[in-house]
């Protein structure tokens, strides 16, 4: 970033545009006459606007500001910090400059430290000037970097060889001395070189310097070609005073030209030796109302954006969570439905199985029941044919739905009983219960008997009945060969024939 140096003297205003780094070059420069009625800020504004507008660091040098030496005792220094030193120096300077310590800004640099205390170079700038110039520079588009007194720029710690520089300003006369490799010794004398006291002091300083450095005779101005090697004077206007001091400008003093002087200031502000020169910096300005509003709006906007982002993030988290929840709920619901269906179908299966068992059982029972009814009468007839002895006549069979009565005649009652027992054993599998034989002896001395069979299908043994029916089926044709009619006809005993008819 380029720099602009504004120099304000008693009657002139200068603007120098500096280019380059540690050894800057002077670019364009402008010069105006200073109007007495203009305040400092107006003067700065005028001279700034002479050149093109571009962002630059602006330094303002003004010889009007108070610049001098103040001392602080060691006892005071022990009790205060840097800010305390600044405030103490402001109060010290107030006594000399007349500027209120609380309405001014102070910059300082120590120049001499002793056991009893320290001397400081102090620059005091009215706060009002600082703020006004800062405003002007900002409005113009630059950045105010520092305010300084124009003196003390030309001798720096890295100056080669023995140097002594005297800067004569209307209210200040600054003397800087340095030996090669030694620290620079600065001294600021209050008052211009036109003052006799200042001249006397300067004279003594030069004499002391001459003596100290064992300069050849005439170095005080008599001998040509000696003093000009080490004594420099700024500005050129001060040359006339040197004549009064016995120094010849042509022989003993090197007059520093404006261009060289500005170049040296350029080196100072670019950091080569700035720390030795007190600068008042504007510091951070309080924010204006418009800026406050803008800042507040910016913060608000950022906050809204942040909140919106946070809300979106939360919303996304919530949506993700809700998606997970709905998935889990769906799984659980599906699982519940499946379990319910499983339970339901298991219940139905149980019922179906019961129904199937019942149907199977009933079907088996129905089959047996039907087969029993199909074969029971045939079996009864076969049994009677096979079991009835020759002494017994089966005469009649009466039947009802649940009852059969076999009637007949016998010569012997025991035959009836035997027939009954055998018949009961034979037809039990077909659901007949054979009751005891009822036997009566008639007037012809023939036994009449009745064998009652009642339906007892509920008590049949299914397996036995099934086997009996199967046997009945197989033996059907063979049983047909039995001729039971012979029992009732040809084989009827003679005693029974009459009764039979």
Partner 1 sequence: MKTTKSNSTLLVALFPLAIILLGYNFLFHWPMQRELRASSAKLENLESRRVDKIDLVSNEELLKRLRREQSETSVAIGDQRQQLQTFSPTALRSVDETGIVNRLTELFRKHGLQMQDHEIVSESLPPGITKLDQVLQQHGLASGAPGSSNTQGSRRRSRPNPSANPNNGNSSNSTISRTLCRFTLRGTYGDFLSGMEDLAKTSPQTVPIRLEMEPIKFNEVERVWILVVLIG
User: Which of the residues 31 through 60 are near partner 1 (CB under 8 A)?
Assistant: none
Instruction: Name the residue with tokens 């100290």.
Output: 212
User: Judged by CB under 8 A, does residue 470 bind partner 1?
Assistant: no
- Judged by CB, which is closer to partner 1: 182, or 349? 349
Q: Judge whether 92 and 101 are in contact, CB under 8 Å.
A: no
Contacts to partner 1 from residues 414-433, by CB under 8 A: 431
C-alpha distances in Å from residue 422, one per residue of 245, 347, 383, 428, 437? 181, 51, 9, 10, 12
The minimum distance between CB 473 and partner 1, in angstroms, equals 7
Contacts to partner 1 from residues 165-204, by CB under 8 A: none
User: Judged by CB under 8 A, does residue 353 bind partner 1?
Assistant: yes
Q: Which of 109, 185, 272, 377 binds partner 1 (CB under 8 A)?
A: 377
Q: Judge whether 213 and 204 are in contact, CB under 8 Å.
A: no
Q: How many residues bind partner 1 (CB under 8 A)?
A: 90
- Binding string, 260-289, against partner 1, x = CB under 8 A? ------------------------x-xx--
The minimum distance between CB 305 and partner 1, in angstroms, equals 10
Q: Alpha-carbon distance 172 to 51, whole Å?
A: 30
Q: Alpha-carbon distance 152 to 61, whole Å?
A: 12
- Binding string, 381-420, against partner 1, x = CB under 8 A? xx--x--------xxxxxxxxx-x----------------
**Six token digits for residue 387:** 């079991």
The minimum distance between CB 365 and partner 1, in angstroms, equals 7
User: Judged by CB under 8 A, does residue 318 bind partner 1?
Assistant: yes
Q: Which of 38, 348, 412, 425 binds partner 1 (CB under 8 A)?
A: 348
In the chain, % helix, strand, coil (3-state, to 5) comes to 50, 25, 30
Q: Judge whether 44 and 6 are in contact, CB under 8 Å.
A: yes
Q: Alpha-carbon distance 27 to 297, whole Å?
A: 42
Stretch that binds partner 1, among 78-86, 107-115, 159-167, 482-490 (CB under 8 A): 482-490
Stretch that binds partner 1, among 138-146, 206-214, 224-232, 370-378 (CB under 8 A): 370-378
Closest CA to 52 of 12, 8, 17: 17
CA angle, residues 97, 265, 130, in degrees to nearest 5: 40
> 3-class SS at 445?
coil
The minimum distance between CB 390 and partner 1, in angstroms, equals 15
Stretch that binds partner 1, among 43-51, 111-119, 187-195, 475-483 (CB under 8 A): 475-483
Instruction: Name the residue with tokens 């400081």.
Output: 120
């Amino acid at each position: 970033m380029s720099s602009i140096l504004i120099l304000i003297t008693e009657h002139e205003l200068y603007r120098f545009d500096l280019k380059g780094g540690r050894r800057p070059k002077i670019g364009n420069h402008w010069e105006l006459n200073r109007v007495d009625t203009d305040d400092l800020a107006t003067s700065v504004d005028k001279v700034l606007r002479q050149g093109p507008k571009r962002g630059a660091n602006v330094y303002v040098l003004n010889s009007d500001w108070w610049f001098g030496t103040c001392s602080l005792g060691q006892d005071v220094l022990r009790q205060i910090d840097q800010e305390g030193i600044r405030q103490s120096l402001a109060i010290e300077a107030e006594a000399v400059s007349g500027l209120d310590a609380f309405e001014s800004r102070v910059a300082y640099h120590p120049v001499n430290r002793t056991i009893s205390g320290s001397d400081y170079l102090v620059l005091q700038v009215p706060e009002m000037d600082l703020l006004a110039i800062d405003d002007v520079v900002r409005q113009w588009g630059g950045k105010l970097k520092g305010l300084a007194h124009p003196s003390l720029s030309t001798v720096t710690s890295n100056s080669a060889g023995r140097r002594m520089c005297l800067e004569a300003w209307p209210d200040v006369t600054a003397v800087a001395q340095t030996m090669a490799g030694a620290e620079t010794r600065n001294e600021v004398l209050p008052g211009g070189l036109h003052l006799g006291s200042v001249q006397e002091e300067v004279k003594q300083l030069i004499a002391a310097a001459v003596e100290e450095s064992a300069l050849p005779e005439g170095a005080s101005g008599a001998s040509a070609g000696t003093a000009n090697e080490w004594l420099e004077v700024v500005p050129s206007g001060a040359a006339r005073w040197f004549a009064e001091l016995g120094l010849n400008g042509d022989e003993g003093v090197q007059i520093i030209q404006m261009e060289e002087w500005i170049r040296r200031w350029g080196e100072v502000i670019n950091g080569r030796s700035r720390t030795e020169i007190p600068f008042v910096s504007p510091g951070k300005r309080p924010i204006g109302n418009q800026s406050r509003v803008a800042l507040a709006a910016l913060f608000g906007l950022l906050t809204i954006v942040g909140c919106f982002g946070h809300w979106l993030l939360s919303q996304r988290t919530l949506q993700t969570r809700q998606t997970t929840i709905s998935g889990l709920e769906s799984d659980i619901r599906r699982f519940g439905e499946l379990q319910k269906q499983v339970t339901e179908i298991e219940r139905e299966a149980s019922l179906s199985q019961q129904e199937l068992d019942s149907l199977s059982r009933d079907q088996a029972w129905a089959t047996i029941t039907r087969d029993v009814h199909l074969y029971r009468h045939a079996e009864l007839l076969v049994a009677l044919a096979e079991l009835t002895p020759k002494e017994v006549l089966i005469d009649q069979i009466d039947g009802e739905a649940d009852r059969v009565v076999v009637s007949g005649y016998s010569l012997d009652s025991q035959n009836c009983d035997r027939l009954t027992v055998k018949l009961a054993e034979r037809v039990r599998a077909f659901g007949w219960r054979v009751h005891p034989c009822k036997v009566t002896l008639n007037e012809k001395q023939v036994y009449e008997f009745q064998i009652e069979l009642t339906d007892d299908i509920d008590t049949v043994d299914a397996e036995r009945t099934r086997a009996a029916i199967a046997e009945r089926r197989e033996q059907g044709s063979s049983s047909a060969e039995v001729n039971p009619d012979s029992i009732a006809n040809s084989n009827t005993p003679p005693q029974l024939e009459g009764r039979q008819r």
